[in-house]
Amino acid sequence: MSIKFSANEIRYIALFENMTGAMVKDCIIDDENGKVTFVVKNGDMGLAIGKGGSTVTKVQKAVDKGVEVIELSDDSTEFIKNILAPAELESIKVLQKESGEKIATVATDNTNKKIAIGKKGINIERAKLLAKRQHNISNIVLK
């Protein structure tokens, strides 16, 4: 599935890559919550964050929004774990229905479920969007 970026997203990606040296695979701008989420290539997390978070702090000042960095993984369960961090998950199962639709079921306790869902459901909605765009997973169900 190819992702079409808006002009704003392309600007943010270019800025992020220039400032960090990390390669961006996906970007979501959430103006409503003042947040930009970057998905970086597997192995580029250290570059993106920088020593003591210095690099990501510079990016936050440049874009004047909160910045979140998620590491991409070819393994869909690992990627879901990365998206929902810092929530501690007990298990992740990705099942493919006969229709070809993929659904991820995530098991965790109530405290971590609140973290995974986030304020007004923002974290789980972002997780669903990224899982769809990167691994063609149509839904994430928390149990």
What is the tens place of the pLDDT at every residue in 72-86?
A: 999 999 999 999 999
Residue 99 pLDDT > 70 = yes
Per-residue pLDDT tens over the stretch 18-36: 999 999 999 999 988 899 9
- Share in percent of the chain as helix, strand, coil (round to 5): 45, 25, 30
How does residue 1 score in pLDDT terms, banded at 50, 70 and 90?
low
Closest CA to 26 of 2, 55, 50: 2
Number of H helices, E strands in the chain: 6, 6
CATH numbers and ranges of domains, the chain: 7-71 (3.30.300.20), 76-142 (3.30.300.20)
Query: What does each C-alpha distance from 59 to 14, 38, 53, 56, 64 come to in angstroms?
Result: 11, 11, 10, 5, 8
